[in-house]
Amino acid sequence: MSSAPPDSAIAPALELFVDVLARADADSVSDDYFARLAGALCRTTGMRRALIFLYDDARRRVRAVGAHGVPLDRLEGRHVSLEDAPVARQALAEDRVVQVESGAGHGISPAFAELVEGRSLICVPIAASKRWIGVILVDPGSDDKLDAARRDLLWTLGKMLAMAISARAATNQRERARQLEERISLARDLHDSVVQRLFGISLALGSAAPLEGEARERCNTELNAALGELRTALQRPLGRPSRPTGTTLAAELDRLQAEHHDLRLEVEGTVAAVPPEAEALAQSVLAEAIRNARKHADGARVVVRVQRRDQTLVLEVENDAAPTASTQPAGMGLRLAALEALNLGGIVEFGRQPTGTWLVRLVVHLEHDA
């Protein structure tokens, strides 16, 4: 491993890393972006290889998002958790850079040990405000003990990455707050315009006097105005769209079957192709239904059906509802998904079936060219 970077080299190193961070698209951060980050980290610290692992909110799991010197496809489809690398848990819990010597066995699962090739391993925490965002696994290329200067630089780079990711999360949260304000504004506008017009019409229709002449014309004018205002209001988006996941519904079903044997997940029939514009919504509904099944299902048997009927996509997730399950309506997740489905001309239905099972159904009308 090369010698520690002198103080005069730290500022250019940080500047290079910041330059890569600044190139992030606030709306869509690709794996290529994180690969450039991993490369910048290796160039600024003199490391040989690096892997960046982050918790993916959309997929609700940890995944490798970027690599330098390591083929990322070697990790494709592998389930990643802190149990696979206790050194990662230590680095995050203690908020410090941890180096494991080659003779210590690294304490990581065999699936990832082959990536280290018997050398020492460095784990850099990506954490902010006690929130564990991810880790960077670094191969220094030798068994030399990590010096203080390079250890501090790695820790600083990890903090910078955590800060950038947290800033993106804050931006998304502000966007969700803005969309909530828009929905509140929509409800207020409907009340102040459409509801008031319909209330006036109802008073006229409820009168004992015959409705004719000017009164009849006035009701007709008010009704047409209410319909126009309602049509305009319904063109506004009712809910925030699900975040793109970079995968497909079919791939998610394969992953769930492989990783969660306790679910007894069954896919009934062939999984129909899902149009790109409906992928995020379908995966969001699936994830919410699976989460509810794990929390409330008796026996955790889940049956999934994905069908195309003419110009309609139908996703059904059915599970054995617990006999003691609450009769209260489903949670906020499915309600938000129902709002989002309206934007695509679809609906989300959920409830207990006569057979005693709990069914979640997404129905989306597709365009002719979908």
CATH number at residue 35: 3.30.450.40
Q: Are residues 22 and 138 in the same domain?
A: yes
Q: Are residues 56 and 165 in the same domain?
A: yes
Which residues are within 8 A (CB) of 96 and not within 5 positions of it... i.e. 6 or more apart? 125, 155
Q: Are residues 275 and 361 in the same domain?
A: yes
Q: What b/e readout covers 335-348, taking b as 16+ CB neighbours within 10 angstroms?
A: ebbbebbeebebeb
Q: Is residue 145 part of a domain?
A: yes
Q: Is residue 327 part of a domain?
A: yes
> Which pair of tokens denotes residue 88?
């990662």
Residue 127 gets the label, from left (phi > 0), alpha (psi -120 to 50) or beta, of beta
Q: Are residues 293 and 227 in the same domain?
A: no
Q: Is residue 2 part of a domain?
A: no
Q: Are 317 and 304 in contact (CB under 8 A)?
A: yes
Which pLDDT does position 65 carry in this prediction? 82
Q: Are residues 40 and 116 in the same domain?
A: yes
Task: Please give the Cα distance from 347 to 345 (Å, whole number).
Answer: 7
Half-sphere exposure of 318 (CA within 13 A, CB side): 14
Question: What CA dihedral angle connects 218, 224, 229 and 233, to 10 degrees?
Answer: 150
Q: Are residues 218 and 136 in the same domain?
A: no
Tell me the pTM. 0.52
Give the β-pairing of 61-68 and 49-56. Answer: antiparallel
Q: Are residues 17 and 164 in the same domain?
A: yes
Reading the chain (370 residues) residue by residue, the pLDDT tens digits are: 444 555 555 666 667 667 666 665 543 445 577 888 888 888 888 888 888 888 876 666 787 888 888 877 766 666 666 766 778 888 888 989 998 876 555 556 655 555 556 678 889 999 887 888 889 988 888 878 888 888 888 998 888 888 877 877 777 677 777 777 777 777 777 777 888 888 888 888 887 778 788 888 888 888 888 888 887 776 666 555 666 777 889 988 988 888 777 778 889 988 888 988 889 889 989 988 888 887 765 556 889 999 988 788 999 999 886 545 444 455 667 777 787 787 777 889 988 888 888 899 999 987 655 4
Which pLDDT does position 2 carry in this prediction? 45
Which pLDDT does position 325 carry in this prediction? 47
Domain that holds residue 282: 249-365
Give 363's strand partners. Answer: 314, 347
Q: Is residue 62 part of a domain?
A: yes
Q: Is residue 131 part of a domain?
A: yes
In CATH, what number is assigned to the domain containing residue 324? 3.30.565.10
Q: Is residue 241 part of a domain?
A: no
Give 138's strand partners. Answer: 50, 122
> Which pair of tokens denotes residue 187?
């409800």
Q: Is residue 244 part of a domain?
A: no
Q: Are residues 22 and 121 in the same domain?
A: yes
Q: Are 146 and 140 in contact (CB under 8 A)?
A: yes
Q: Are residues 138 and 199 in the same domain?
A: no
Structural domain ending residue among the three candidates 150, 172, 194: 172
Q: Are residues 307 and 325 in the same domain?
A: yes
Q: Is residue 219 part of a domain?
A: yes
Question: Total structural domains in the chain?
Answer: 3
Q: Are residues 63 and 103 in the same domain?
A: yes
Q: Are 285 and 335 in contact (CB under 8 A)?
A: no
Q: Are residues 112 and 53 in the same domain?
A: yes
Which pLDDT does position 306 carry in this prediction? 94
Task: Please give the Cα distance from 7 to 306 (Å, whole number).
Answer: 59
